[in-house]
């Protein structure tokens, strides 16, 4: 198609202007601040090169926050994958009423994570929450677990909440993969003597593996930035036991006002995320 | 070839029933697991404090009423609803306005090539904390903290890459011949974009608009950093009900209903595009 260069680039220009002014420019500004000794509680600022980074890499609280975050990523995404696969496999067949039920199963994904987080805070409540009540019925005596403060249960609560909200996403993606598999392939496997489980493991899983990988990468990248759920459920507590990397940078920047140091931390997060993003984009471009 | 798929051997009658029984069991468990929390949170809105602050909690409210919703109006929390509508709505319109032409140019004339498209997408994946921190400092200088334009522009900028990426896909789905015949008839590029391509991509456009709106509506980190009192959005208003000392569960429940109902309805409208919209087009 013939087109003038003016209209070709003119159509793109406004969007680039918006992205540059509110994404690229702020990131460059962030980079600049990260080289400064700038603390709102003290007057003045000066260039100190990489000192914030040197200091930052020795910050135990950052490494711990990174560890907490990675732990949640691995456990939550694995659980979402398994549960999503079970659900997709159950719903892949020609089940009556499927079309009516699926939109309801998806609702957690649509809900604002902060609203869901505060909602679950009421569910996990020791005295007034239904979870302890239900467990009490199961075991036959009152249960008084302090889910969100006890260090033995707090990660479980966080991860269940996260898994509740995002398993439907995994389910939706995998279902799309499963219904795309032609029944003839399963027939062929059955003729060759494969049972249902073998057919699932050796036929279905390899066929949807590329899709699984994309879904897992999307979720992992998202959970790595987890903030809302932790903010509303535990605020990083007890102590800093569940503090994630985004929450730590947030607290540094908006509670302590150590701007230069915060910026260096944010740049470190930016670099980690960019590396992971590259992997996802490479997968997307293979499609 | 039009052979009907024959059932594999394991779907003989007994196994067939077993498979369905199992499927329904999984479905029932999933239904309860995913919907009970929502029902509980929404139920909070119509319970009395004596019912939700009793141990064990009361499940079915004895005299459900809308008192907590009335409370939201009286204490002006409801203003956050208007703020969210204005900010998420304008951000969506703006992101579509700048994103669609760019997407069209990239889809049809391969502007910037493949790498440029991926670079655009990568902007959507930047960690929000690394954006909002410098943006907060910049907005402080120009006096945009706690203003409509501040949060709106940031949401628009952050979602424009999403709009470009998705719409590029939808435009590419349109057969190029349709547009070429219009060009032969002497229509200009802009004319073809506006009166042929855009209407043909209408369904994708609506789906993309809905997703952009939902992202902005649900967003918390940008909002909590960039609002103080005047333009507080619904998610930020929500956090106000959970102080360290006091908790207003009834009001929180009512606000949850207000926060969720609009996006639940919107999601039903775009059911068919849900997977594509949530997976950045990886699954069609």
Task: Give the one of A118, A280, A284 whose C-beta lies nearest to B242's C-beta.
Answer: A118
- In whole angstroms, give the CA distance from residue A122 to residue B253: 10
Residues A73-123: tens digit of each pLDDT: 999 999 999 999 999 988 888 777 788 889 999 999 999 999 999 999 999
In the predicted structure, residue B9 carries a pLDDT above the cut 60: no
Nearest chain A residue to B189 by CA distance is A3
Provide CB contacts within 8 A for A145, sequence distance 6+: A126, A132, A135, A153
Helix, strand or coil for residue B31? helix
Longest dimension (CA), chain B: 75
Q: What is the pLDDT of residue A166?
A: 97
Domain ranges, ordered by start, for chain B = 9-66, 71-278
Does the CB of B57 have a partner CB in chain A at under 8 Å?
yes
Does the CB of A179 have a partner CB in chain B at under 8 Å?
no
For the record, the structure tokens of A107 come out as 């609702």
Per the prediction, chain B carries an average pLDDT of 90
Does the CB of B212 have a partner CB in chain A at under 8 Å?
no
- In whole angstroms, give the CA distance from residue B284 to residue B282: 6
Second CATH level (architecture) for the domain B71-278:
Orthogonal Bundle (1.10)
Q: Is the pTM of this model over 0.90?
A: yes
DSSP state for residue A71 in the 8-state scheme:
H
> What domains does chain A contain, in order, with CATH numbers?
34-94+166-286 (1.10.3720.10)
Residues A243-284: tens digit of each pLDDT: 999 999 999 999 888 899 999 999 999 999 999 898 888 888
Contacts of A184 in chain B (CB under 8 A): 5
Output the CA angle A175-A105-B208, nearest 5 degrees. Answer: 75
- In whole angstroms, give the CA distance from residue B96 to residue A91: 35
Stated as kind and residue range, the H or E segment containing B155 is helix B148-172
Confidence of residue B1 (pLDDT cuts 50, 70, 90): very low
* C-beta atoms of B128 and A168 within 8 A: no
Confidence of residue A2 (pLDDT cuts 50, 70, 90): low
Cα A25 to Cα A19, A73, B12, B132, B277: the distances in Å are: 9, 30, 64, 12, 28
CB atoms within 10 A of CB B249: 23
Does the CB of B189 have a partner CB in chain A at under 8 Å?
yes
Which residue in B130, B152, B267 has the most chain A C-beta atoms within 10 A of its own C-beta, making it the best mutation to test that interface?
A: B130
Please write down the HEC assignment for all residues of B176-220. Answer: HHHHHHHHHCCCCHHHHHHHHHHHHCHHHHHHHHHHHHHHHHHCC
Contacts of A269 in chain B (CB under 8 A): 127, 129-130
Confidence of residue A286 (pLDDT cuts 50, 70, 90): low
Contacts of A112 in chain B (CB under 8 A): 217-220, 234-235, 238, 259-260, 263
Q: What is the pLDDT of residue B247?
A: 77
β-bridge mates for residue A37, sequence order: A46
Confidence of residue B148 (pLDDT cuts 50, 70, 90): very high
Residues B12-65: tens digit of each pLDDT: 566 667 767 888 888 899 999 999 999 999 999 999 988 999 888 899 998 898
| CA nearest neighbour of A121 among A63, A70, A161 | A161
Does the CB of A268 have a partner CB in chain B at under 8 Å?
no
């Amino acid at each position: 198609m013939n087109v003038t260069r003016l209209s070709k680039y003119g159509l793109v220009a406004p969007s680039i202007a918006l992205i540059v002014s509110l994404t690229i420019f702020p990131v460059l500004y962030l980079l600049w601040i990260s080289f400064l000794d700038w603390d709102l509680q003290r007057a003045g600022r000066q260039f100190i090169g990489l000192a914030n980074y040197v200091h930052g890499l020795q910050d135990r609280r950052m490494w711990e926050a990174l560890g907490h975050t990675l732990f949640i990523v691995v456990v939550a995404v694995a659980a979402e994958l398994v549960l999503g696969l079970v659900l997709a496999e159950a719903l892949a067949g020609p089940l009556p009423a499927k079309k009516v039920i699926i939109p309801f199963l998806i609702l957690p994904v649509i809900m604002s994570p902060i609203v869901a987080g505060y909602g679950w805070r009421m569910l996990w409540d020791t005295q007034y929450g239904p979870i302890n009540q239900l467990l009490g019925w199961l075991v036959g005596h009152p249960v008084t677990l302090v889910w969100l403060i006890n260090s033995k249960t707090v990660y479980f609560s966080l991860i269940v909440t996260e898994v509740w909200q995002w398993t439907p996403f995994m389910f939706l993606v995998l279902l799309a993969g499963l219904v795309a598999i032609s029944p003839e392939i399963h027939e062929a496997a059955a003729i060759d003597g494969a049972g249902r489980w073998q057919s699932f493991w050796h036929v279905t899983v390899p066929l949807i593996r590329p899709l699984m990988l994309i879904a897992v990468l999307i979720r992992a990248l998202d959970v790595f930035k987890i903030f809302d759920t932790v903010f509303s459920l535990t605020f990083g507590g007890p102590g800093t036991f569940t503090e994630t990397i985004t929450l730590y940078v947030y607290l540094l920047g908006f509670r302590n006002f150590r701007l230069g140091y915060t910026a260096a931390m944010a740049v470190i997060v930016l670099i980690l995320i960019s590396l992971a993003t590259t992997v996802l984009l490479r997968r997307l471009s293979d499609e | 070839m039009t052979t009907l798929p024959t059932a594999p051997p394991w779907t003989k009658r007994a196994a067939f029933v077993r498979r369905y029984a199992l499927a329904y069991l999984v479905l029932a468990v999933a239904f309860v697991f995913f919907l009970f929390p929502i029902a509980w949170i929404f139920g909070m809105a119509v319970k009395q404090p004596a019912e939700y602050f009793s141990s064990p909690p009361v499940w079915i409210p004895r005299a459900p009423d809308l008192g907590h919703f009335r409370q939201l109006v009286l204490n002006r929390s409801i203003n956050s609803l208007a703020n969210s509508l204005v900010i998420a709505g304008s951000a969506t319109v703006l992101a579509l306005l700048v994103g669609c032409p760019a997407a069209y140019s990239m889809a049809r004339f391969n502007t910037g090539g493949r790498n440029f498209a991926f670079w655009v997408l990568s902007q959507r994946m930047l960690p929000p904390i690394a954006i909002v921190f410098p943006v907060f400092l910049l907005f402080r200088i120009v006096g945009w903290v706690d203003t409509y334009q501040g949060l709106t522009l940031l949401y628009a900028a952050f979602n424009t890459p999403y709009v470009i990426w998705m719409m590029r896909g939808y435009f590419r789905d349109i057969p190029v011949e349709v547009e070429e015949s219009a060009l032969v008839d002497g229509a200009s590029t802009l004319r073809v974009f506006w009166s042929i391509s855009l209407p043909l991509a209408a369904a994708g456009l609506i789906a993309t608009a809905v997703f952009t709106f939902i992202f902005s509506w649900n967003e918390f980190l940008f909002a909590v950093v960039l609002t103080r009192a005047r333009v507080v959005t619904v998610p930020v208003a929500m956090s106000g009900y959970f102080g360290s000392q006091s908790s207003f569960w009834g009001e929180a429940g009512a606000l949850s209903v207000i926060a969720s109902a609009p996006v639940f309805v919107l999601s039903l409208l775009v059911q068919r595009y849900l997977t594509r919209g949530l997976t950045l087009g990886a699954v069609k």
